[in-house]
Structure 1
Amino acid sequence: MCPFPQITRYFATALTCLWTGLYLGLCAGGAIADGDHAPIGDAIQDVPLFDAHMHYKEPAWASYPVASVIELMDRSGVAMALVSSTPDEGTIMLWDHAPGRIVPELRPYHGDATSQNWAKIPDMQRYLEDRLNRYPHQGIGEFHIHRLDFQDEDLFRAVIGLAKARDIYLHVHSGTRPIRWLYSLDPEVKIIWAHAGLGEPAAAVYDLMADYPALLADTSLREFAIMTGDTLNPNWEKILYDFQDRLMIGSDTYINNQWEDYGRIMAHNRRWLAQLPRAVAEKIAYRNAERAFGLTISMDQIGTR
């Protein structure tokens, strides 16, 4: 028999209260967490989108005049778009028409300069510098690095210098190795990884994003891999949650068929965004772009120029 029954009862009561409190707290916390993590669902339709990978290439100019491009954006709830074009005149045409909706970036491709040879074109640095001085581009790209050639280092150092001097991004279409190489040239370079690597498996995307905490990525052309059927692909779901502050959506209107499918592409982006909590969905839909480019993005921009 315990010689101190009152003390025993006291500790038993205290322990019961402690466990009850913890249980209720965990339950309450779980309820809050469940609420915080509830998918945004149909409410995603009221969220503005930022298209972080749009092109307005010369073959589209006749079929899709500038006013029609803005109308396509309006119908899909796309408030603003990051645009690069072959040649750059396409981007400037769109920006002139709707400066409140277009964030221009400078693509190197023009004349004989293509995705295959642009780094070998004489006076490429001078071309880029001239265009950057004339127009308010917020990035250099989207450009391709199909095959890493260390003989191009001088040009890439110059391109990085142009971007850093203006505090703008490089928008790079490549695998993981060129991204690592660019960071080796300058760890402070600002990069948007086009298509989140496109051909790279989800595991490689995760590893690169984890290794470079400042790296941004757009998910254009990935929208049908991110969501399989009616659910998020588990590998991509982990990427979306773990790097929610560094992802943006995109359309990649690189051919006219993409313009024809623009509404479907953006609708599918909304489908997978709808599976995410509001806070995460809004970041990827537009808030990350607001932070990256110093913008204010809202549905109020729809129907404006």
Structure 2
Amino acid sequence: MRFAKLLCTVILAGFCSAPVLADGDHAPIGDAVHELPIFDAHIHYKEPAWDAYPVDSIIELMDRNGVAMGLVSSTPDEGTIMLWEYAPNRIVPELRPYHGNAGSSNWAKAPNMEAYLEERLSAYPHKGIGEFHIHRLDVDDVVLFKKVINMAKERDIYLHVHSGPEPIRWLYSLDSTAKIIWAHAGLGQRAEAVYALMDEFPALLADTSLREYAILANGGKLDPEWKEIIMAFQDRLMVGSDTWVNGQWDDYDQIIAANRRWLSMLPADVAKKIAYQNAERVFDVKVSMDQIGTR
């Protein structure tokens, strides 16, 4: 990657000029990762989950896995509000545009979308708009997206965007001050492309949902390119699960365990940031293991 030479220079300089640290400041956090609360920055509570996983069972799953809080968006938004009303101490609500016939492929063209978003944002304390998909760029969508950006700016909340790099660049071209969380850190994007976009836009945040097995290379070690991303942008990443289908709820224990596994390989200060401290700053909340077992 294009930053590898600089990284090697820094590492070599460190070996030449500084003694090997005897303390544990830069050692991996290891098993102590299990003492950290998790803020799950990518949860959905969609309608098919409501019967299979009632609200109390969702909080029980979070409790069992040390997930103190979560950012929740749902199709429709009623799912998010159900969870938030049941456990307001644990849920940070986020407004997903999808409802009725408006889904991931057509929501920006759905009738009355602006009014729907305004009504829901006025009625409930959403701390973000999203997660929403941008599958392709369409000049006809500019007017709505400018309005969505303004809705977020008026409330000082984030847009949570599922897309490749170009839609992120497009949103910033509409408003360079937009506050954006890049869902899944681009999902199918190669690590080099993720680094490049995060480097290009210093305010861009990302959640790492569905990235746990890319981050864990063969043999269960940190992928070298992802380690560079994590260390370079440690203040801008948040862990997530993405419970987009019930199968993700079925596997929630394993998903959180996989995320704790790669967090365990990081220095304690970095692991804490990605596990929960960055989310505390972004959403103005306090995240603690004391929340486990509460609502």
Scaled by the length of structure 1, the TM-score of the pair is: 0.90
1:226, 1:236 → 2: CA distance?
6
State the secondary structure of the residue aligned to 2:52.
coil
Mapped to 1, the partners of 2:103 and 2:152 lie a distance apart of: 20
Unaligned runs of 5+ in 1: 1-22
Task: Say which of 244, 254, 269 aligns to 1:264.
Answer: 254
SS of residue paired to 1:82: strand
Name the SS of the counterpart of 1:31 in structure 2: coil
- Give the residue type in structure 1 aligned to 2:235: D
2:239 matched to 1:254? Answer: no
Matched residues in 1 for 2:18 and 2:81: separation?
55
Q: CA deviation at 1:26?
A: 3.1
Which of 145, 151, 164 pairs up with 1:156?
145
> Which residue does the alignment assign to 2:55?
66
2:72 aligned counterpart, secondary structure: strand
Percent of residue pairs identical: 69
Distance (whole Å) between structure 2 residues aligned to residue 292 and residue 31 of structure 1: 32
Instruction: Provide the rounded CA distance (Å) in 2 between the counterparts of 1:26 and 1:276.
Output: 21
2:200 alignment partner AA: D
Shift of 1:35: 2.6
| Secondary structure of residue in 1 paired with 2:131 | strand
Q: What runs of 5+ residues in structure 2 fail to find an aligned partner? A: 1-14
Name the structure 2 match of 1:206.
195
Match of 1:136 among 125, 134, 149: 125
1:192-213 CA-to-partner distances (Å, cap 9, x unmatched) read 0000000111000000000111
- 1:147 corresponds to: 136
1:240-278, Cα deviation, whole Å (9 max, x unpaired): 000000000111000000000001000000000000000
Distance (Å, rounded) in 2 between the aligned partners of 1:94 and 1:35: 40
Cα displacement string for residues 143-194 of structure 1 (whole angstroms, at most 9, x for unaligned residues): 0001111210000000000000000000000000000000010011100000
| 2:8 matches 1:26 | no
* Number of residue-to-residue matches in the alignment: 280
* Equivalent in the alignment of 1:84: 73
- What is the CA deviation profile of residues 67-100 of structure 1, one whole-angstrom value per residue up to 9, with x for unaligned ones? 0000000000000000000000000000000000
Answer yes or no: is 1:178 the counterpart of 2:167.
yes
Q: Secondary structure at the match of 2:129?
A: strand
Secondary structure at the aligned position of 1:275 is classed as coil
Letter of the 1:112 counterpart:
N
Task: Report 1:171-250 matches (<5 A).
Answer: 171-228=160-217, 229-250=219-240
Give the structure 2 partner of residue 114 of structure 1: 103
In our comparison, the structure showing a higher alpha carbon Rg is: 1
How far apart in 1 are the matches of 2:227 and 2:18?
Answer: 25
TM-score of the aligned structures, taking structure 2 as reference length:
0.93
Task: Please state whether the residue corresponding to 2:247 is helix, strand or coil.
Answer: helix
Query: Does residue 1:96 correspond to 2:85, yes or no?
Result: yes
1:280-302 CA distance string (max 9 Å, x none): 00000000000001111110000
CA distance in 2, matches of 1:221, 1:298: 24
| Cα distance in structure 2, aligned partners of 1:294 and 1:63 | 32
Show CA shifts across 1:222-248 (max 9, x none): 001101222100010000000000000
- SS of the residue corresponding to residue 161 of structure 2 reads strand
Paired AA for residue 60 in structure 1: A
Alignment counterpart, residue 41 of structure 1, candidates 16, 26, 30:
30
Q: Distance in 1 between matches of 2:101 and 2:184?
A: 25
SS in 2 for 1:61: helix
Q: Match of 2:288? A: 298
Q: State the alpha-carbon separation in 1 of the partners of residues 148 and 259 from structure 2.
A: 32
What secondary structure, in the 3-state scheme, does the structure 2 residue paired with 1:36 have? coil
